[in-house]
């Protein structure tokens, strides 16, 4: 067991909070981001800037060559991004096939290289309805596999698994985090759209905490 963890860091608000939570818990953090052909790189830009300012080791892995085997999602293909809440059936269009299994496998390899004892990622309770690879049973199985896949066991952990986005934001506010350093919207325009599932859930989290989102929106928040 070491005091080092690899945090899968997209640049969005959940992984941003997770990154700082790991540091607050006393872990040395290696941040790992992925370019898998998502619609924009606004999140990756945020991740780069935050890690630079914190002096955290940060790697961005380009896996766009795998696009043909991760296609069919509104996040990676020429498909309209659905608007509305994650509970709606139309939001299944945002599922990227097998994404977390692929990203966690690569992150486990990096953890072995970096001497980390675990990979942390930001799956949370609000993801369960729509994303199969964010559900507790998936994480439990991935944890079991990654502990035996190498000579050095690596745990797969989702510290926010039992929390919704509002509770995650509450933790970040407790840490004094600045959420203008994050990007959540599925669209990569100058302002967040305020209508996609990711924006809707983010705005609900801020409303639940009685604070104003510092990010600018195209529609009134």
Annotated binding site: 9-19, 185, 193, 196, 199
Q: Return binding residues for ATP.
A: 9-19
SS (H, E, C) 60-127: EEECHHHHHHCCCCCCCCCCCCCECCCCCHHHHHHCCCCHHHHHHHHHHHHHHHHCCCEEECCCCHHH
Q: Return binding residues for Zn(2+).
A: 185, 193, 196, 199
Say how far residue 197 (Cα) sits from the centre of its chain. 14
Alpha-carbon span 196 to 89, nearest angstrom: 13
- Could you tell me if 93 and 73 are in contact, meaning their C-beta atoms sit under 8 angstroms apart? yes
Look-up: residue for tokens 């080791």? 57
- Dihedral sign computed on CA atoms, order 74, 157, 7, 115: negative
- Could you tell me if 144 and 110 are in contact, meaning their C-beta atoms sit under 8 angstroms apart? no
Q: How many other C-beta atoms can be found within 10 angstroms of the C-beta atom of residue 197? A: 23
Closest CA to 15 of 2, 38, 3, 31: 31
């Amino acid at each position: 067991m070491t005091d080092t963890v690899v945090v899968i860091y997209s640049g969005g608000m959940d992984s941003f909070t997770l990154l700082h939570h790991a540091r607050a818990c006393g872990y040395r953090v290696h941040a790992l981001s992925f370019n898998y052909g998502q619609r924009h790189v606004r999140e990756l830009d945020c991740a780069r800037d935050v890690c630079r300012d914190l002096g955290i080791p940060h790697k961005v892995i380009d896996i766009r060559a795998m696009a043909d085997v991760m296609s069919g999602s509104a996040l990676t293909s020429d498909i309209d991004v659905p608007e509305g809440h994650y509970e709606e059936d139309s939001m299944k269009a945002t599922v990227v096939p097998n994404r977390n299994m692929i990203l966690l496998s690569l992150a486990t390899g990096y953890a072995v290289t970096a001497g980390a004892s675990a990979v942390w990622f930001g799956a949370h309770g609000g993801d369960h309805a729509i994303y199969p690879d964010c559900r507790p049973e998936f994480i439990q199985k991935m944890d079991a596999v990654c502990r035996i896949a190498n000579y050095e066991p690596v745990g797969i952990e989702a510290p926010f698994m039992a929390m919704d986005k509002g509770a995650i934001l509450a933790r970040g506010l407790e840490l004094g985090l600045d959420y203008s350093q994050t990007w959540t919207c599925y669209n990569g325009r100058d302002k967040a759209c305020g209508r996609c599932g990711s924006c809707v859930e983010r705005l609900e989290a801020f409303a639940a905490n009685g604070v104003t989102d510092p990010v600018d929106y195209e529609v009134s928040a």
